Amino acid sequence: MSVVLSRDSQVRVMEDTVTNAEKHLGQFCSMLAAYTRKTAQVRDKADRLVRQLTDFANTEHPEMRATLRSFAEDLAKVQDYRQAEVERLETKVISPLKLYGAHIKQTRAEIKKLKQVQKNEIKQLAKLGRLRQKSPSDRLTISQAETSVQRASADASHTTHQLGETIEAFQKRKLTDLQKIFSDFVTIEMVLHAKAVEVYSSAFQTLENYDPERDLEDFRAKMHGLYGHRDAQPLTETISSPAVPWSLTGQETVLILALF
Amino acid sequence: MSVVLSRDSQVRVMEDTVTNAEKHLGQFCSMLAAYTRKTAQVRDKADRLVRQLTDFANTEHPEMRATLRSFAEDLAKVQDYRQAEVERLETKVISPLKLYGAHIKQTRAEIKKLKQVQKNEIKQLAKLGRLRQKSPSDRLTISQAETSVQRASADASHTTHQLGETIEAFQKRKLTDLQKIFSDFVTIEMVLHAKAVEVYSSAFQTLENYDPERDLEDFRAKMHGLYGHRDAQPLTETISSPAVPWSLTGQETVLILALF
């Protein structure tokens, strides 16, 4: 009877193995999918920042414009790498974890089949036991029942052995797949981070090299120079001259009214 | 009159400068805040993954357990760096941009003051113009009005000059602050990415070194060895022995019933 118990324990180990894998790999799948989605959202927010930097650059003086455009381009490059990160996480991390759903379902079906075979063995054993108690002298029927037990037992032994190999292969695949999936995760992340360091190093240089002085000259000229006056002189110097009698043209009146 | 127009243009340049800065710096502030929030959410998702890896590690065989724990620790380290990134972005990027709110409000108040002074100048000019048309011979009143115009004009000239300096300082501060804020952004991002490359390189090595073979031996022993049977033998070898008459103990009956 200890062999039946042993087989029962084996089945429980098998079931636990599959249930545990189903639970944890499913959780890894949804957590890594959530991580990837949030990463895609970081990319979206950075893309908006890129557009905003470009818009702002167009309103700025030449040096800052060039600096902001260069910075925006670098920031956009990092987002391209982030997009590649997201796609690779989906392909090499999330998809393989999703595939476990089908794989686990199939293994569960095989375990169910083994349990049926085991049930049959126990049923035949119980039948033989009852026969031996009720009709110990019915040699023919007992002999037939013994043959059925042998057949059911050989079947159970064979199926258990087969399933043992299946579960071992399942466990082996799980371990090597997890190793591969997490290695891929780390590689994908490393590529992003390494590329980002490279791009941001160049962006940092561009920003460091920016000198506001030329833009400020440009700004001063714009602020003071629209009518050719670098500095506005007191108005009285003009109007106190008797040679220029004070009068308002129509256009100037409109302007003044608009200012009140 | 061209000086009045020139001053008016200057004021418009000043207003545009402040309005443009208010609009774009405000947008940068909210976009960088959104970027930072999403980064914090990536950190949260990765933190959940760390906990899940630790939970799963506890259900695994020794080699995988050690590998997953080491991987989880490295992943947690990257999240610590991400947390530092989030805090530094808040302090060195978002906060300085937020401070512009108050700075812009103050500059707007100064522009408003200038516009009042300009209005007064134009009002005095208009009054003088009317007097010269209506009472060209009233020298005393015209002389008083001319003095008022001179005073208002000197006031406007002085205020415009002062505000010009204020706006130039505002623009200079804006340019150098943006340079600093974006440089800080890039530096903060670079630190995260560089640290992540470092940590993930070590994580990659740990995962590469994992060898599933010893865990599989452990797994085989667990699956087959709970009752000391490496392989389950056909049950018939035991029960066909006449020295062991078939009977079910209470415990075994419960087991069998549970199996049906």
Give the one of A197, A235, A252 whose C-beta lies nearest to B190's C-beta: A197
pLDDT tens by residue, B204-213: 999 999 999 9
Higher pLDDT, B239 or A191: A191
Interchain contact A257–B (C-beta under 8 A): no
- Which chain B residues have a beta carbon less than 8 Å from that of A254? none
Interchain contact B13–A (C-beta under 8 A): yes
Give the one of B122, B207, B226 whose C-beta lies nearest to A186's C-beta: B207
Whether pLDDT at B237 is above 60: no
- pLDDT-derived band at B242 (thresholds 50, 70, 90) equals very low
Least confident of A146-160, A245-259, B61-75, B167-181: A245-259
Q: How far apart are CA B37 and CA A55, in angstroms?
A: 23
Domain presence at residue B66? yes
The total of structural domains in chain A comes to: 1
Domain presence at residue A202? yes
Contact A256 B203 (CB under 8 A): no
CA angle B163, B169, B174 (to 5 degrees): 125
pLDDT tens by residue, B31-54: 999 999 999 999 999 999 999 999
Q: How far apart are CA B203 and CA B192, in angstroms?
A: 16
Q: How far is CA A117 from the centre of its chain?
A: 43
Instruction: List chain A residues with pLDDT less than 50.
Output: 226-260
- pLDDT-derived band at B2 (thresholds 50, 70, 90) equals low
Domain presence at residue B154? yes
- Which chain A residues have a beta carbon less than 8 Å from that of B157? 232-235
The label of the residue with tokens 């371990």 reads A175
Domain presence at residue B241? no
| pLDDT score for B40 | 98
Domain presence at residue A106? yes
DSSP category for residue B60: S
Pairs of CB atoms within 8 A across A/B? 306
What amino acid occupies position B114? L
pTM for the predicted model, two decimal places: 0.81
- Which chain A residue shows the shortest CA-CA distance from B260? A119
**What token pair was written down for B95?**
């906060």
| pLDDT score for A2 | 65
Contact yes or no for A57/A69 (Cβ under 8 A): yes
Find the helix packing angle between B2-58 and A2-59, rounded to 10°: 170
| pLDDT score for B90 | 98
DSSP A39-81: HHHHHHHHHHHHHHHHHHHHHS-HHHHHHHHHHHHHHHHHHHH
| pLDDT score for A171 | 93
Whether pLDDT at B241 is above 60: no
Dihedral pair phi/psi, residue B130, rounded to 5°:
-65, -45
Average pLDDT, chain B: 85
B238 CB contacts (<8 Å, ≥6 apart)?
A1, A3, B244
| pLDDT score for A246 | 35
Interchain contact A58–B (C-beta under 8 A): no
Q: What is the ipTM of this complex?
A: 0.81
Give the one of B153, B164, B212 whose C-beta lies nearest to A234's C-beta: B153
Domain presence at residue B100? yes
Contact B28 A56 (CB under 8 A): yes
| pLDDT score for B6 | 75
Contact yes or no for B82/B39 (Cβ under 8 A): yes
- pLDDT-derived band at B114 (thresholds 50, 70, 90) equals confident
| pLDDT score for B221 | 87
A146 CB contacts (<8 Å, ≥6 apart)?
A128, B236, B240
Domain assignment of residue B179, given as a range: 1-224
Q: How far apart are CA B162 and CA A21, in angstroms?
A: 74
Q: How far apart are CA A63 and CA B181, in angstroms?
A: 17
pLDDT tens by residue, A122-148: 999 999 999 999 988 889 999 999 999
- Which chain B residues have a beta carbon less than 8 Å from that of A153? 234-236
- Which chain B residues have a beta carbon less than 8 Å from that of A128? 239, 246
Give the one of B64, B194, B204 whose C-beta lies nearest to A183's C-beta: B204
| pLDDT score for A254 | 36
CA distances from B248 to A128, A145, B27, B243 (A): 11, 16, 80, 15
Contact B255 A156 (CB under 8 A): no
Q: Supply the CATH number for residue A82's domain.
A: 1.20.1270.60
Q: How far apart are CA B42 and CA B35, in angstroms?
A: 11
Q: How far apart are CA B5 and CA B207, in angstroms?
A: 73
Contact B6 A229 (CB under 8 A): yes
| pLDDT score for A93 | 97
